[in-house]
Amino acid sequence: MERYAPPKPLPFGVYAHNRGVVTPQYAVMPPEGILPSRLPGFERTTVFFLTSPEMGAHFAQAALEIEPGGGTTASRNDGLEHFFYLVSGAVTLGIDGTSHDLTPHGYAYVPTGHHYDIRAGGDGPCRLIWIKRPYSQIDLPIPAPLVDHRDNVERMRAHTQGRYWQYLLPVEDLAFDMHVNVLGFEPGTYFPCVETHIMEHGLYMLEGQMLYQLAGDWHEVKADDFIWMSHYCPQFCFCTGWGEAAYLLYKDVNRDISFPAPTGRR
C-alpha cells in the first residue's frame, strides 16, 4: 500500500500577483511583466514595448537592450521623430551619417525626415530608451537634430523646494511638439497639488522610488518602471526611500486642439 503524501506547497507567485496595471487613463508597467520582442532592421537587440497606440497612447515608447556590436542593420528613416536616452552601456548613434558617442544619460533628438542608426559598443549590454511619434507640422521650420548629456543641462527649481527640472529639449522653441525632461525629487518631496492637465505623459523611472497617485489609485514605483498617463489623468506623487528619485518624462506640447472630422449629423 502506498503511503499518503501530502501535497507540496504552491510556489510563490501562483496567484499572479504583479504591480502591472492597465486602465483607460493610465498604465503602470514594471519590467518583470513586459515580454521581449524582436524587430526587423535590428540585430542582437531585444525590444520591450512600454506603450503604444494599442494601449491608447498617441506615441510609442520602448526600452532597447542591445548586446555589444548590436543595433540597426542599416540607416533608418520612417518619417517619425525620435528621442533616444541611454540608461546604461555605450552607444554610437548616427544621424545623417554623422556619428555621436553616447555615454549613460546621454540623449539625442532625431527630427522627422532624418536618418539614424544605432550601434552598441563596450563590453556589456546597453539599455536605450526610445520614444517615437508622428511630427505635428506647423508654420515653423522643423527642429534640427540635437545631441547632449544630462550632466550638461541646468537643474531648475520646480515650483517647490526639493524638486528640480532638467529640460532636455528647448522649451521656448514652439517648433517642438514634445518635451522630454528629467524631474528629480529629494526624499519626502511631493507635488504641490493633484495635477489634471491636457498633456499626455510617458514616465520612465531612472533612479529611486516613489508613490504615485493615478486617477485616485496609489502605486509604488522604482527604477526601470514605466507609467503611461493619458490626457487629463489626475496625478500626484511623492518621493519615498532614502535617496533622491528621478524620472524621464515625455509630454506633448505647443499644439492647438484638434477636432474629429464632421460626420454630417446634426
Question: What CATH code is carried by the domain that includes residue 46?
Answer: 2.60.120.10
> pLDDT value at position 266?
57
- Integer-rounded Cα Rg, in Å, for the chain is 21
Which one has a higher pLDDT value, 1 or 192? 192
Is position 45 within any domain? yes
**pTM score > 0.75 for this model?**
yes
Alpha-carbon dihedral 225, 111, 103, 166, rounded to 10 degrees: -60
User: Beta strand pairing status for 235-240 and 245-252?
Assistant: unpaired
Is position 263 within any domain? no
Is position 210 within any domain? yes
CB 126 within 8 A of CB 90: yes
> pLDDT value at position 7?
74
pLDDT at residue 16 above 80? Answer: no
Phi, psi of 39 (to 5 degrees): -130, 140
Residues 6+ apart with CB under 8 A from 204: 50, 61, 63, 85, 129, 224, 225, 226, 247, 248
**Residue 207 lies in domain:** 21-136+147-252
Is position 71 within any domain? yes
Which one has a higher pLDDT value, 10 or 51? 51
Is position 11 within any domain? no
Residue type, 211: L
Is position 91 within any domain? yes
- Please report, rounded to a whole number, the percentage of residues in the chain having pLDDT higher than 90: 86
Domain count, the chain: 1
Alpha-carbon dihedral 242, 150, 180, 237, rounded to 10 degrees: 10
CB 218 within 8 A of CB 21: no
pLDDT at residue 197 above 90? Answer: yes
Is position 172 within any domain? yes
The mean per-residue pLDDT over the stretch 16-26 comes to: 89
> Cα angle vertex 14, ends 10, 15, to 5°?
125
Is position 154 within any domain? yes
The mean per-residue pLDDT over the stretch 53-69 comes to: 97
Residue written as grid cell 517648433: 175
Assign 12 a pLDDT band (cuts: 50, 70, 90): low
252: number of CA atoms within 13 Å, CB side?
Answer: 22
pLDDT at residue 144 above 80? Answer: yes
Assign 15 a pLDDT band (cuts: 50, 70, 90): low
